[in-house]
């Protein structure tokens, strides 16, 4: 049976504002699950999953197990680059979000879908792999490194085109993926992306030699997520 998901493209949104939107949906799903597990009556209606797609102003975010040493500039230098910094409750280390990047925040109940967290991450990766394949680009996974990579074969220097960092509680997810489309990659020079010093980053623009249509990319991502998770979009 398909999993019902409310799709919302929320445009350009401050990172903390988008985080608060996620938390609101996340807590509603969890609170209802807990009430039902305790056989407590609840007036809360059934809560569908939600997918937010968003673009952020320049911001660096650090996962709960990450090291602030991987931010290579101080807070004054952040300000001169119009960038913010947040410690978050997701997994992973440090990453960058900014203009030209499609960020996806799926708040999904994995019990409803019938999968575990590892499979969930694998399906997020697969949706992006399918998306870049539509442009003739071969992307793949990299052993022991979450995300979607180009040139992941042994002996090459892999380049990440999509970072993934999630949080899950009671099998409910939040945070998600950051897909570099027309991203200004120079902002990655100020961090060790995801804690790595021996790997690079890339974007669709970089690989294809020109700006890409973000609306076209969003539609491809949305369709591929629907396919790999068997989703039913609702209004």
Catalytic residues: 194
The residues pairing with 174 across neighbouring beta strands, listed in sequence order, are: 167
Closest by alpha carbon to 181, among 152, 218, 145, 227? 218
Of 102, 103, 109, 105, which Cα lies nearest the Cα of 4?
109
**Structure tokens belonging to residue 143:** 């052993």
The neighbouring-strand residues paired with 149 are: 140, 160
d(CA 117, CA 216): 28
- 130, 111, 132, 133: which is closest to 120 by C-alpha? 111
Reduced to 3 states (helix: H, G, I; strand: E, B; else coil), residue 19 is helix
Taking the C-alpha atoms of residue 231 and residue 235, their distance in angstroms, rounded to an integer, is 13
User: CA-CA distance, 10 to 105, in Å (whole number)?
Assistant: 11
């Amino acid at each position: 049976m398909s999993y019902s998901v409310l799709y919302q493209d929320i445009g350009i949104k401050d990172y903390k504002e988008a985080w608060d939107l996620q938390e609101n949906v996340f807590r509603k799903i969890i609170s209802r699950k807990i009430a039902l597990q305790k056989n407590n009556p609840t007036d809360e209606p059934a809560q569908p999953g939600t997918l937010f797609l968003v673009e952020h102003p320049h911001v660096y975010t650090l996962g709960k197990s990450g090291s602030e040493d991987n931010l290579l500039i101080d807070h004054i230098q952040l300000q001169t680059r119009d960038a913010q910094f947040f410690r978050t409750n997701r997994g992973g280390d440090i990453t960058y979000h900014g203009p030209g990047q499609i960020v996806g925040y799926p708040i999904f109940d994995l019990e409803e879908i019938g999968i575990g967290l590892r499979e969930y991450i694998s399906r997020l990766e697969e949706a992006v792999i399918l998306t870049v394949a539509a442009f003739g680009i071969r992307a793949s996974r990299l052993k022991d490194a979450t995300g979607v990579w180009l040139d992941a074969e042994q002996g090459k220097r892999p380049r990440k085109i999509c970072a993934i960092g999630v949080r899950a509680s009671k099998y409910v997810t939040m945070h998600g993926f950051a897909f570099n489309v027309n991203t200004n990659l120079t902002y990655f020079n100020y961090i060790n992306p995801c804690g790595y010093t021996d790997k690079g980053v890339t974007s669709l623009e970089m690989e294809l030699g020109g700006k890409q249509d973000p609306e076209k990319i969003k539609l491809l991502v949305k369709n591929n997520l629907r396919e790999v998770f068997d989703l039913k979009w609702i209004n």
